[in-house]
A and B are shown apart, each in its own frame.
Chain A
Amino acid sequence: AQKVTQAQTEISVVEKEDVTLDCVYETRDTTYYLFWYKQPPSGELVFLIRRNSFDEQNEISGRYSWNFQKSTSSFNFTITASQVVDSAVYFCALSEPFFSGNTPLVFGKGTRLSVIA
């Protein structure tokens, strides 16, 4: 069965520290997609990244980077030089294709990140 585990419920860091959010997934398929979303205090989930199971290349976008390792079924998210605006709940999610083309996302329970000035 598909499952996403975010073991860190809450993390608190001081501004400018680096922080890594962990995500471990379980899937029954060889073709799947992984996502990260950010939910700031305003409540709206904001899409950050999508990665398919055939692309293990790490990705960097500004202060954000993602490390995808199929061998450990992990898709970790690192924020470098954290800022107060990074304070949010971050969700990792997984989807597997089925006949309709876009299976619903399975979400982890989220990690609440607090960045203190």
Chain B
Amino acid sequence: DVKVTQSSRYLVKRTGEKVFLECVQDMDHENMFWYRQDPGLGLRLIYFSYDVKMKEKGDIPEGYSVSREKKERFSLILESASTNQTSMYLCASGPPRGYEQYFGPGTRLTVT
């Protein structure tokens, strides 16, 4: 079974803190993705990566950065957390050529 794990299910941080969300997949997938999910807005893509050290901006990259030093790990970084970044963050991985993505359990981040 494909397994995508995220470092925390729930996280509470203060405004201005630097936040790291970690994602690890065990299926040797080339592609990895970070989404955020908000009520009424559905899933929105923040960043994705199709290879180690490669990254592409998604629909809402502002306020975020990413790091992919190893194939299995994709980190989302909030350089200075703000209250409008309170959300559910979902990581996914997938093989190339239009195949499905596999999602982790999500991290519910609250910024106070």
Residues of A within 8 A of B (CB): 32-33, 35, 37, 42-47, 50, 52, 91, 95-97, 100-105, 107-110
Contact = CB atoms under 8 A, between A and B. Distances in A.
A86 B102 CA distance: 20
Q: How large is the interface on B (under 10, 10 to 19, 20 to 34, 35 or more residues)?
A: 20 to 34
Interface string B54-89: 001010000000000000000000000000000010
Contacts of A109: 40-42
A102 B94 contact: yes
Given A100-B50, A104-B33, A50 B42 contact: no
A107 B36 CA distance: 12
Contacts of B33: 104
Contact of A44 (B41, B56, B96, B106): B106
Given A102-B30, A104-B45, A107-B42, A44 B103 contact: yes
Contacts of A43: 88, 105-106, 108
Contacts of A97: 97-98
Nearest to A9: B40
A102 B42 contact: no
A96 B97 CA distance: 9
Contacts of B90: 45
Contacts of A105: 45, 101
Identify which of B40, B42, B56 gathers the most chain A CB atoms within 10 Å of its CB.
Answer: B42
Contact of B50 (A33, A42, A45, A101): A101
A102 B102 contact: no
A102 B104 contact: no
Contacts of B102: 47
Contacts of A103: 98
B48 A104 contact: yes
17 contacts: A43-B88, A44-B103, A45-B90, A45-B92, A47-B100, A50-B98, A50-B100, A96-B98, A101-B30, A101-B31, A101-B50, A101-B98, A102-B97, A102-B99, A103-B98, A104-B48, A104-B58
A32 B99 CA distance: 10
Interface string B16-33: 000000000000001101
